[in-house]
Amino acid sequence: MAAHIFDGKALAQRIRVDIEKDVAILYEKTGVRPGLAAILVGDDPASAIYVRNKKMACDKAGLVAHEHRLSANTTQEELLALIQKINADPAIHGILVQLPLPPHIDNRVVLEAIAPHKDVDGFHPYNMGRLVEGDPVFVPCTPKGIMAMLDAIESSIEGAQAVVLGRSTIVGKPMALLLLHRHATVTICHSRTRDLSSVCRQADIVIAAIGKPHFITAEMIKKGAIVIDVGINRLDDGALVGDVDFESVKTQAGWLSPVPGGVGPMTIAMLLQNTLESAQRAVGWR
């Protein structure tokens, strides 16, 4: 039997409708609208599209998004000065600096400059530490969205064998922690993992976040497994594809998330959710 295909777009839309309602209630009762500042440095076309989509989603749900577009030769000091200014602005509840940053800017210094209580991406070491402890404040948006997808299909995470491919700070590591906190048995694989196929084949849940087009094939997947594709790879012909070879894996998996239309829309919905939660905290509702 062919896999069920996750409709990330539809699920994200349902979540965004709920967020819109909660934003309206917050505004009605307190006069506060959740505010997000999105900072884009340089002119990477993919990053520009992501930031534009995030701003559009905010506008639709009644949040206020401010886009800060800085040129590629912006200095680290200039960027830090902008972050300090936004940190102090009470109308802004969430700050995101779109990654990757140009090579002359130190990611770590920039991410640490964001006030932890406005760090809606959850990348600040404080928020990472809270996640490691199992008591998170802001959970990074992509892994948070994947957990919402797994919950939407009522998959049993407790006791499951989960394999996370990729060990990035944005996806792989927080993803593994979230699954672990839900009592999955988690293996993190990466470029130096030996016999990756046989490790993957043990998994009830596979999260692919390695950035290699069509890397995961049916032979690497246990029959009926849940496969979540986080990859966004642009091929030479312009096509957008994931890390999973969709056509082969759909004959083997029980559930499969497509690219596009799977994880991507969920990431944006979770950014809105984190920004709303931050505004609710700011008025003492949380």
The DSSP element (H or E) to which 227 belongs, if any, is: strand 226-229
- Enumerate residues 6+ apart whose C-beta is below 8 A from 116: 124, 126, 127, 137
Q: Which is nearer to ligand GUN, 174 or 254 (CB)?
A: 174
Point out which span in 11-19, 60-68, 94-102, 124-132 binds ligand GUN (CB under 6 A). 94-102
**Is 252 known to be catalytic?**
no
* Per annotation, catalytic residue among 22, 121, 204, 243: 121
Binding flag, residue 210, ligand GUN (CB under 6 A): no
Is 144 one of the annotated active-site residues of the chain? Answer: no
**Beta-bridge partner residues of 39:** 68, 97
Q: Which of 13, 105, 87 is nearest to 96 (CA)?
A: 87
Task: Give the CB-nearest residue to ligand GUN.
Answer: 99
Q: Quick one: 98 or 278, whose CB is closer to ligand GUN? A: 98
- The residue within the footprint of ligand GUN, chosen from 63, 64, 65, 96 (CB under 6 A), is 96
Q: Based on CB atoms, which residue is closest to ligand GUN, 267 or 278?
A: 267
Number of shown-chain residues binding ligand GUN (CB under 6 A): 9
Using the rule CB under 6 A, is 170 a contact of ligand GUN? yes
Q: Is 163 exposed, middle or buried (0-12, 13-18, 19+ CB in 10 A)?
A: buried
User: How many Å apart are CA 252 and CA 249, to the nearest integer?
Assistant: 5
Q: Does residue 209 belong to the site contacting ligand GUN (CB under 6 A)?
A: no
* Residue 204 found at the interface with ligand GUN (CB under 6 A): no
Distance CA 264, CA 254 (A): 20
Q: Is 245 tagged catalytic?
A: no
Site string (122-141) toward ligand GUN, x via CB under 6 A: -------------------x
Question: What is the Cα–Cα distance from 82 to 269, expressed in whole angstroms?
Answer: 26
Binding flag, residue 273, ligand GUN (CB under 6 A) = no
- 146 burial (CB, 10 Å; 0-12 / 13-18 / 19+) is buried
Nearest to 50 by CA among 257, 214, 210, 240: 240
Residue of the chain from 32, 80, 99, 180 that contacts ligand GUN (CB under 6 A): 99
- The whole-angstrom separation of Cα 87 and Cα 84 is 5
Nearest approach in angstroms of CB 170 to ligand GUN is 5
Site residues (CB under 6 A) for ligand GUN?
96-99, 121, 141-142, 170, 267
